[in-house]
Amino acid sequence: VHVSYLDGKGNLEPQGSVPSAVSTLTDELLKYYQHVTRAVLGDDPQLMKVALQDLQSNSKIAALLPYFVYVVSGVKSVSHDLEQLNRLLHIARSLIQNPFLCLGSYVRSLITSVMYCALEPLAASINPLNDHWTLRDYAAMLLSRIFWSHGDLVSGLYHQILLSLQKVLADPVRPLCSHYGAVVGLHALGWK
């Protein structure tokens, strides 16, 4: 697993160096971050399940929220791998279900990553054997959950989501999988 960090200006730090923002984290938090990301993105499903459950209920990880949101925002770099996309969405779900985290400004980043999985023609969708439809269903459900539980934290979020879904649905050039994602996204948000 490749673990990278952002410095305070949004630049990617080279692997192996510890940026100043991360150096202010305790060793325990840094180890927790590394163990959880390895567990979720690794090969052991039982370890992944335990890590996601802890991420969902741990009351002491608020300082790590930007780093986990950054990991979730990596959906574009793994659009060819449905398994990894699914795991990143599970991280997002655990974060939004953690009652001890105040997502605040990170809601928009999570929405962007989730909508990418629902609406974009993923590289994995080229192969008809890949079940990207289930990933889009899950992303739509997660979009709805984020909106209804944290939508009040970002002004204009409802309008932005609806506009994005409508834009994809009305675009005749977009592939069927993108239209499908828009439809299930609208359905998940509810009839209102």
Domain ranges of the chain: 27-189
Count Cβ atoms below 10 Å from residue 153 Cβ, excluding itself: 15
Higher pLDDT, residue 34 or 16: 34
Question: Are 97 and 56 within 8 A, CB to CB?
Answer: yes
Provide the CATH number for the domain formed by 27-189 in this structure: 1.25.40.770
pLDDT of 59 over the 60 cut: yes
Tens digits of residue pLDDT in 76-126: 888 888 899 999 999 999 999 999 999 988 999 999 999 999 999 988 777
Tens digits of residue pLDDT in 22-55: 457 888 999 999 999 999 999 999 999 999 999 9
Of 157, 161, 119, residue with least CA distance to 139? 119
- Tell me the pLDDT of the chain averaged across its residues: 86
Of 189, 142, 181, 122, residue with least CA distance to 162? 189
Query: What is the rounded (10 degree) CA torsion for 156, 137, 59, 43?
Result: -140
pLDDT band of residue 5 (cuts 50, 70, 90) is very low
Answering whether pTM is above 0.85, one says no
